[in-house]
Amino acid sequence: MKISIVGAGHVGLVTGACFAESGHQVLCVDNDMEKLAPLQKGKIPFYEPGLERLVRKHLKTGRLSFSPSIQEGVRKSGVVFIAVGTPSRPSGEADLSYVEVVSREIAHAMTTYRLIVEKSTVPVETGEWVRRTIRHSLRRKIPFDVASNPEFLREGQAVKDFLQPDRVVIGVESKKAEKILLEVYRPLKTPIVVTDIKSAEIIKHASNSFLSMKISFINAIATLSEKVGADVVKIAEGVGMDKRIGKSFLNAGVGFGGSCFGKDLAAFINIASKAGVDFQLLKEVQRINQHQREGVVRKIEQAVWNLRGKTIGILGLSFKPDTDDLRDAPAIDIIRALQKEGVKVKATDPAAMENAKKFLTGVTFCANAYEVARGVDCLVILTEWRVFKQLHLRKLKSLMAHPVLVDGRNLFDPERMRRLGFRYFSMGRPAISS
Ligand SMILES: NC(=O)c1ccc[n+]([C@@H]2O[C@H](COP(=O)([O-])OP(=O)(O)OC[C@H]3O[C@@H](n4cnc5c(N)ncnc54)[C@H](O)[C@@H]3O)[C@@H](O)[C@H]2O)c1
């Protein structure tokens, strides 16, 4: 099939490369020339395992190409996916101005039937707005359909998530649109939920809100565990083995971040409020998450006594492993809070350091964890990168001024840390001092 995707970011580029892998002919459109020029040479603008290989492969097969022109995309394809950003406004509401601009441009370029598919995460009823905008922007009466096809990929494993999803959701209002989208996804051989557009839009927000709720739930249990001397890791194991609950998203830590959970939660609360529903449950999820970040700073203070004048080493900046994405990363808030309290910060991250230099000032960036450890009063783990799990802990300790480790991701066994001579503070488990 001939498909174009407007917006070649984390979602659009993965979608484009994976559709090409599925055998479709794909054109990715982006108006950011700084991204587009390297993409045309097979160089991807962010860190995502396996993606560059796929992009290069299909530039070669000729099934994937790039263009700055929406007009070209619409001319060459029967299906046009919209995958532009939908960032948060200060009110929490999603900013849909990019979606609107793109919808208009698509309409201006249309001459015959097209299926326009929302891939971006959008509030319920956006499909209706897209339809209205296209209808009013068409130069003459042309048949078209709008559909919703929310994306559930996770950064860091986006290619795998796209090619082997748990399910695909499509929201349609005509048999024709349904048939086209079923054909687009047929090569994936995955369960497909077909529904109306509004329900599909809500499925995405409900899914992300539920996952955020699981994380805040276990973090609340972690807070209780610390107060009473219980172990949240064991609790999560015991709770998560119940198939009705499931093990995933029950890791206590510094809270969720990234470009989606916080934004989508705020948007969903806003949508509900506009519909007259006060979604208190989700407001509490937000509150707990914010509290987690502040709690880490207090935990570091508890570990080193006075923060002022101390040197703290941070291991991990990205909001999760295997990505260089720093959007709403807890590390950024935590580092800024520490700096406000007069702390000198050293930091490292396997992928996100170049990005971090744009956001953070006054931080000494180091090539690896051992360089960070040299002379610090305390080390703090904020992202569960595999290289940190594999650290040579004796060597690490020998480099530090004081062997104090605050583990925001529960990477190590507290008893082992005690035997190695660390003062070890983790999340939702009793603090251990040697
Ligand atoms: N990042 C994720 O993990 C993820 C997962 C699922 C869903 N989503 C949703 O997908 C959407 C896109 O997210 P993203 O992370 O890919 O964003 P992104 O910022 O990485 O990419 C958006 C792209 O759209 C381009 N763009 C903006 N306006 C344009 C225009 N008028 N014409 C052409 N290109 C234009 C930008 O240049 C950018 O490259 C959002 O709604 C997001 O919530 C993201």
Q: Over pLDDT 70: what percentage of the chain?
A: 100
Nearest to 281 by CA among 234, 216, 330, 201: 216
- Using the mean position of ligand 1's atoms as its centre, give its distance from the Cα of residue 12 in Å: 7
Q: Which amino acid is it at 114?
A: R
Look at residue 97 and tell me if it is in a domain: yes
Do 227 and 357 lie in a common domain? yes
- Cβ of 85 closer than 6 Å to ligand 1, yes or no, is yes
Domain count, the chain: 2
| pLDDT value, residue 55 | 98
> What is the atom index within ligand 1 of the atom nearest the CA of 155?
3
- Cβ of 77 closer than 6 Å to ligand 1, yes or no, is no
Regarding pTM above 0.75, the answer is: yes
Do 94 and 216 lie in a common domain? no
Nearest to 222 by CA among 328, 214, 386: 214
Do 11 and 75 lie in a common domain? yes
Look at residue 96 and tell me if it is in a domain: yes
| pLDDT value, residue 430 | 82
Q: Looking at residues 354-383, what average pLDDT do you find? A: 97
> What is the atom index within ligand 1 of the atom nearest the CA of 119?
10
- Cβ of 6 closer than 6 Å to ligand 1, yes or no, is yes
- Cβ of 405 closer than 6 Å to ligand 1, yes or no, is no
First to last CA, the chain: 63
Domain boundary (132, 164, 195) is at 195
| pLDDT value, residue 434 | 55
- Cβ of 149 closer than 6 Å to ligand 1, yes or no, is no
The residue whose two tokens read 């990205």 is 318
Look at residue 200 and tell me if it is in a domain: no
Do 97 and 152 lie in a common domain? yes
Do 256 and 177 lie in a common domain? no
Write out pLDDT tens, residues 188-218. 999 999 999 999 999 999 999 999 999 999 9
- Cβ of 46 closer than 6 Å to ligand 1, yes or no, is no
Nearest to 254 by CA among 222, 229, 227, 277: 222
Task: Characterize the bridge pairing of strands 79-82 and 114-118.
Answer: parallel
Q: In testing the pocket of ligand 1, which one of 4, 5, 10, 40 has its CB within 8 Å of the most ligand atoms? A: 10
> How far, CA to CA in Å, does 255 sit from each of 1, 68, 117, 300, 321?
41, 37, 32, 16, 14
Which residues have a Cβ under 8 Å from the Cβ of 261 and sit 6 or more positions away?
208, 211, 212, 215, 328
By alpha-carbon position, which residue is closest to atom 15 of ligand 1?
Answer: 10
Distance CA 267, CA 201 (A): 12
Which listed residue (18, 28, 260, 378) is catalytic? Answer: 260
- Please report, for the domain that includes residue 115, its CATH number: 3.40.50.720
Do 191 and 220 lie in a common domain? no
Write out pLDDT tens, residues 403-412. 999 999 999 9
Phi, psi of 432, rounded to the nearest 5 degrees: -120, 125
Look at residue 204 and tell me if it is in a domain: no
Taking the CB of residue 218, how many other CB atoms lie within 10 A of it?
24
Do 175 and 66 lie in a common domain? yes
Domain boundary (139, 167, 195) is at 195
> What is the atom index within ligand 1 of the atom nearest the CA of 98?
28
Indicate the SS3 state at residue 255.
coil
Length of the chain: 434
Look at residue 205 and tell me if it is in a domain: no
**pLDDT band for position 232 (50/70/90)?**
very high
Q: Are 93 and 270 in contact (CB under 8 A)?
A: yes
> What is the atom index within ligand 1 of the atom nearest the CA of 158?
3
Do 102 and 174 lie in a common domain? yes
Do 187 and 227 lie in a common domain? no
Domain boundary (164, 195, 226) is at 195
| pLDDT value, residue 130 | 98
Q: Are 365 and 330 in contact (CB under 8 A)?
A: no
To 10 degrees, the CA torsion angle through 325, 331, 337, 339?
A: -90
Look at residue 378 and tell me if it is in a domain: yes
Average pLDDT, the chain: 97
- Cβ of 30 closer than 6 Å to ligand 1, yes or no, is yes
- Using the mean position of ligand 1's atoms as its centre, give its distance from the Cα of residue 113 in Å: 25
Do 190 and 227 lie in a common domain? no
Distance CA 357, CA 335 (A): 13
Element (H, E) at 81: strand 79-82
Do 387 and 272 lie in a common domain? yes
Element (H, E) at 378: strand 378-381
| pLDDT value, residue 433 | 66
Is 378 one of the annotated active-site residues of the chain? no
Write out pLDDT tens, residues 38-90. 999 999 999 999 999 999 999 999 999 999 999 999 999 999 999 999 999 99
Provide the token pair at 280. 């208190």
Expressed as residue numbers, the domain containing 56 is 2-195
Q: In testing the pocket of ligand 1, which one of 5, 6, 11 has its CB within 8 Å of the most ligand atoms? A: 11
Is the pLDDT at 431 greater than 90? The verdict is: no
DSSP label of 113: -
Look at residue 301 and tell me if it is in a domain: yes
Nearest to 16 by CA among 34, 37, 40: 40
Look at residue 431 and tell me if it is in a domain: no
Phi, psi of 349, rounded to the nearest 5 degrees: -155, 140
Provide the token pair at 208. 């992300």
Q: Order of strands, edge to edge, in the sheet holding 378-381? A: 363-365, 344-348, 311-315, 378-381, 404-407, 423-425
Write out pLDDT tens, residues 166-178. 999 999 999 999 9
Do 179 and 253 lie in a common domain? no
Is the pLDDT at 330 greater than 80? The verdict is: yes
The residue whose two tokens read 């299909």 is 58
Indicate the SS3 state at residue 10.
helix
